[in-house]
Structures are given as C-alpha cells and as structure tokens.
Amino acid sequence: MDRTEKHQAEPKMERLPDGTMILRRAWPQLGRMLYQLEHDAIDSNEHLNDVQKRELRAKIKDILLEHCSSYEQQYAAFEYVMRGRAVEIVGNPCYMDKDGTLHDLPYTGLEGYYVGSEAKAGRSGLTQAQIIEEEANIGQELLHTLKKDAIANYAWASFAKIADPDHHVLDKDDLKRINLLWARVIHRLNQRIYENEECKKTPLEQVEAILHNDSHLANDRTIQHEYSMIKEKEEASMQGEVPTTVKQQFANDRIFRDRMEEHDRFRQETYARLKDICGRYDRIVYRIEDSAFSNANILEELHLPKPPDRTSSPPYQVKLTTEQVEGYLFLAHLGENGGNPVARSILTSEKR
C-alpha cells in the first residue's frame, strides 16, 4: 500500500447538522486479503463452473460479514465512548508536550471500564487524572512488551509499524498482533472494578484462594502448617473486633453493589443510545470491491448518535512523562484496529 492508500485507510468523520456522526473507513489491504482468500478457494476447486465460482465468492463474503456482525454493537459502543461519552468519566484532559504546548488528550474508548471505580463521597477510588495515568501506563507496558519481543526475535520492522501506526502500513501479521494485544487490554479492564479497596482479600483469603485452585499445594504438609499458622494469627487478631469486622464487611458489600450498579448502568445507557427510534441497532454498512486485486477494498460506514460535548467540561492538565504520553496515544490508536469488526473478522475467518 502506498501513501495515498494509507491516507485512504484512515477513518474519516462527518458530523451532520443534528450532531450525529458518520465514520467512514476503507481497508484496501484487507480487501486484497479477501480477494486472495476468494481466489485461493476457487483455485482449490478447479471443477467449479462460473456460476459455482460466483456462489463460492459470495459465500466467503457472507462468512466475513457474519463475523463482523458479532462485533458490531461492541465496536459501535467503543467508538461512541471514544468520540465523546468518555467526558462523563474523565472530563476534558490535556497534556503538555516538550515545547510547553498544551494539547487535548484523545479518549481511548476504554474509559467506560472505569465507571464505578471513580472516587466519590463515601468511597475511595480514582480521580479523573489517575484514570488517564493508568491508561497511559497500560499503553506504556504494551509498548515495552512489543520492544522486548522485537529484541528477542529481531523484529524491529514489525515493532516500528505497530508502535507508530500513523506512519506505517499494517499487514495481516501486524493486525493479528494488534488484535491479541487489544484482547489482553479488554480482559484486564473487564476485571478493573475488582481492584478497588473493598474487593482486596486478606492474607488468609489470598492463601485460601491459592489452595482452592491448586490441589498439589493444598496437600503439601509444609503449606498446610503455614496456612494453619496464618489462620490462627488472623483469628487471634480479630478477637473482640468481630462486630466491627462484620460492620465493615456490610459497608464493603454496599460500596461494591453501588460500583457494579453504576458500571452496568453506564453500559446499558451506552447501548440504549445506539438504538434507533424503533429500538433497533443501526448496522454498520459495508461495501466490498473485489473485481480485481489492484482495486480490492472493504468500505465501512458507521452511524453514531450525537456524542456529549467534551468542552462542556473544564480542561485540566494531566502530568505525564514523554513515555506515558507515547503509551497513551498508542493505546488510543490500538482500539481503532483491534476493536474494529472488519479487521477482527478477516482474521477470525482464517484458520491460524
């Protein structure tokens, strides 16, 4: 893909007079992968006539679009959060570059996973700036992992493309790695609400959890002895404080329920806003061009409701290091590819 095609592949956004948004993206490299997939299938069945060949190509496209449909709603929700709804969680953050200039930080689309983990009256939690910092650290960790892998496998070219995707063309292997990285981020943040203070286990509970999951350790005499000592010590420390402990447990349970209710409500509201007046989800529209390898392309168009205006929240500066800013921006871009249904479908439609 040349620079013209690279520019064409970048998402384009159109805001309509009513505030709704249309996101358009072209995937020429994936279009050519689809073209190759179609013709490989035809070449392996030489006995097919022209009608059967057309039917086979149509079937392959149907399989791809079927895979896409399983990701469409969550992708639309991700884009809706990233295009504006994240303002409800992290406000309007900005950062200062090396030259001392302030820039708005884009949303990553992952902010919804932090709903319920914010600090509020009567409970501990993260500030808006701390949420941004944690996202930056996640992105920084991903880049560090990629760099270590590049060193181990002499894969600097691949690292450069994934680490700086705005200036490089991504191929199938790059997209596979991005898809895996994105899945790791989602898996990690799906559990984020359990990292809050009231969910932390005591040393005894941590040991019990380990022993419950490992029968070999549970039957080890030395470990059984140490477990008994920890249990006796904790029970001794709790003597005379049982009412306080029970009261604290009730308080922790209430806080956790409140967090989960907020988390679930945000998710439900996000999906509800994506529905049309008839209560249906607008599907992403695809157009597939595959008459020739040179112009093969997959075009997608996503309609989103009017997102909240981030300028409704006052700006604030997040103090990030250069590496953290790099990690944050990488994480923000990662979802554009890792969460996209076309990119994910072209990969899952092939046997790995």
pLDDT digits (tens, 9 = 90+) for 298-315: 999 999 999 999 999 999
Cα(291)–Cα(276) distance, integer angstroms:
34
Q: Which pLDDT does position 324 carry in this prediction?
A: 95
156 neighbors 150 (Cβ within 8 angstroms): yes
**Region 39-68 average pLDDT:** 87
Give pTM, 2 decimals.
0.81
Indicate whether 152 pLDDT > 90. Answer: no
Indicate whether 107 pLDDT > 60. Answer: yes
The percentage of the chain sitting over the pLDDT mark of 70, rounded to a whole number, equals: 89
Q: How confident is the model at residue 348 (pLDDT cuts 50, 70, 90)?
A: low
Pairing of strands 21-26, 12-15: antiparallel
Indicate whether 122 pLDDT > 90. Answer: no
Cα(1)–Cα(14) distance, integer angstroms:
25
Q: Which pLDDT does position 1 carry in this prediction?
A: 46
**Region 247-273 average pLDDT:** 91
**Region 266-295 average pLDDT:** 88
Q: Which pLDDT does position 79 carry in this prediction?
A: 94
Beta strands in 224-340 (DSSP E): 285-289, 297-304, 315-317
Q: How confident is the model at residue 344 (pLDDT cuts 50, 70, 90)?
A: confident
Report for 123-137, 203-217, 237-251: range of highest mean pLDDT: 123-137
Q: Which pLDDT does position 70 carry in this prediction?
A: 87
For the purposes of burial, counting CB atoms within 10 Å of the CB of 169, is it exposed (0-12), middle (13-18) or buried (19 or more)? middle
Q: Which pLDDT does position 7 carry in this prediction?
A: 47
Q: Which residue has the higher pLDDT, 30 or 171?
A: 30
Indicate whether 184 pLDDT > 70. Answer: yes
- Please, which contacts does 275-280 make with residues 24 or more away whose CB atoms are closer than 8 Å? none
Q: Would you report the helix, strand and coil content of the chain in percent, each value rounded to 5?
A: 65, 10, 25
User: Which sign, positive or negative, has the C-alpha torsion 341, 343, 344, 346?
Assistant: positive
The percentage of the chain sitting over the pLDDT mark of 90, rounded to a whole number, equals: 42
